Amino acid sequence: MTSTAAHSPFPSGRAVPTPVTGGRGGLLASVVGVAVGSVFFLFPIYWMLVTSVKPPSEWLTSPPVFIPDRLYFQNYTDALFNWGGLKGLVDSGVVAVSATAIGMVLGTFAAYSLARFRIGGTNLSFFILSLLFMPPVAIGIPMFLFWSALGLVDTYIALIVQYLTFTIPFIAWVMKGFFEDLPVDLEESALVNGASRLRAFVDIVLPNVRPALVATALLAFIFNWNEFSIAVLLSRGRVTTLPFILPTMMESHYVLWGDIAAMAAVGALPVVIIAFLLQRYLVRGLSFGAIRSE
């Protein structure tokens, strides 16, 4: 089998075979289907953006306001400055970038050994994979007690290290698939020429899977950026990631729809920008991460 990792799953421009819907009727149905789907999947995003620029008097009107007369940006200043959105951006950034970076180093090395040396056999692989599936609530109490015993609740360290429990398995799982697809001949010739294993890995293997590394890191970053359950358990007031801040905006007396939507938009913006900049990698990472298994 050739290395699937080396080319995009989306061959653009060439005529596409039609596995199911033949004929012009099928094409029409496809266009309609995609159009309807786009409206459905994008309308709530529009609703979020439009709510984020509505004045309070338009948050709960009946009928709802779909196009505000004027743009009201105070929700954004409220979200960023009164509700700590700015600090949330910084904290989310620190935690997500650190957890992703550390996870990439540890996870990629582990994936390589799992793929090439089959260390730990299928049990270690399955163990790592199954951690990805564990409901966070299952380890919530011991996890909380562990970090508070170390006096590290509500710190960057606690969140970053705890995020590694799903970041590493994810990266290891996805990267293992890429490494398995990579022909061993490349490394072998390097080894024959006297390179150490580390050299061979760094100089020969990694450059060959660079697109995969980008895609995997991107997805890991998105997961870390969005993480909620663990943040709720391990954060108080000093380290406040954006998903953590959001529910605190649900007050006893009033739901601040505009502020919440602004905060949501602020939180979504970085991942959406990155997703579009790296869309080629994102799509590929998703597909290969999932298509590969074991």
Partner 1 sequence: MQVGPISRRRFLSTSAKAGAALAMGGAVTTFLEACSATPNASSAAASASGTVAVEIDEGQNANPFQWFNPNMKAKFGATTNIIGLPFVGQYEKIVAEMVTRSSVYDVLVFPPQMLGDFVSNGFLAPLSELGNESDFNLTDVLPAYRDPNLRRNGKLYAAMYDGDILQIAYRTDIFSAAGISQPPQTWDDFLNIAKELHKPPTQYGNAFLAQRGFCYAWFMNIFAALGGKWFTADMKPAINTDQGVQALQMLVNLKQYAPPNILQIGYQELNEAYLNGSTAMVVQWDDLALKAEDPSQSKVVGKNAYAPCPVRNYMPYSRVMAVSAFSKNQQNAYKVIQYMDSADVSIKYVYDPKCGEDPFRQSHLDASKVKDHLGNPSMPAAQAQSYVGAIKTCLTTGYPELSIPGAPRYLDILDLFVNEALAGSLTPSQALTQAANEWDSITASLGQDNQVKAYSDWVNAFHAAGVTY
Partner 2 sequence: MMATRRRPSRWSGGRRFALLTVAPATIILIVLSVFPLLYSLRLSFTDQQLLSLVPPRFVGLANYAQLLQDNLFWSSLGVAAAFALSVVTVQLGVGLALALALYRLPRYQQFIATLLLIPSILSSSVASFQWRSLFDYSSGPLNYFLGLLHLPLLSWTADPRLALPSLLLVDFWQWTPFVTLLLLAGLHALPASVFEAARVDGSSSWQILRYQTLPLLRRVIAITVILRLIGAFKVFDIIYVLTAGGPGSATESLAFYNYVQGFRYFSVGYSAAMSYVSVIIVIVLARVILRYMERPVGRPAADVPVAEAAV
In the region spanning residues 239 to 268, those forming contacts with partner 1, defined by CB under 8 A, are: 247-255
Question: Among residues 84, 85, 88, 107, which is the contact residue for partner 2, using CB under 8 A?
Answer: 107
Residue type, 74: Q
Which parts of the chain fold into alpha helices (H)? 23-52, 74-77, 85-116, 121-131, 140-149, 156-181, 185-192, 197-199, 206-208, 210-226, 229-234, 242-248, 257-277, 279-291
CA separation for the pair 266, 143 (Å, rounded): 30
Q: Tell me which stretch binds partner 2 (CB under 8 A): 74-82, 83-91, 208-216, 224-232.
A: 224-232
What does 199 interact with, of partner 1, partner 2, none (CB < 5 to 8 A by kind)?
none
Tokens 């997805």: give the residue: 219
Q: Tell me which stretch binds partner 2 (CB under 8 A): 71-79, 81-89, 202-210, 242-250.
A: 242-250
Residues 65 and 72 sit within 8 Å (Cβ to Cβ): no
Instruction: Report if residue 176 touches partner 2, rule: CB under 8 A.
Output: no
CA separation for the pair 197, 187 (Å, rounded): 8
CA separation for the pair 92, 275 (Å, rounded): 17
Closest contact distance (angstroms) between CB of 272 and partner 2 is 6
- Exposed, middle or buried, 62 (CB in 10 Å: 0-12/13-18/19+)? exposed
Instruction: Report if residue 194 touches partner 2, rule: CB under 8 A.
Output: no
Question: Among residues 35, 39, 45, 118, which is the contact residue for partner 1, using CB under 8 A?
Answer: 118
Instruction: Report if residue 24 touches partner 1, rule: CB under 8 A.
Output: no
Closest contact distance (angstroms) between CB of 227 and partner 1 is 17
Closest to partner 2 by CB, 86 vs 255, is: 255
Question: Among residues 13, 44, 142, 194, which is the contact residue for partner 1, using CB under 8 A?
Answer: 142
CA separation for the pair 285, 213 (Å, rounded): 9
Tokens 């989310």: give the residue: 92
Q: Tell me which stretch binds partner 2 (CB under 8 A): 73-81, 93-101, 207-215, 275-283.
A: 275-283
What does 251 interact with, of partner 2, partner 1, none (CB < 5 to 8 A by kind)?
partner 1
Instruction: Report if residue 233 touches partner 1, rule: CB under 8 A.
Output: yes
Q: Which residues bind partner 1 (CB under 8 A)?
A: 60, 117-121, 124, 142, 144-146, 148-150, 153-154, 232-233, 236-237, 247-255
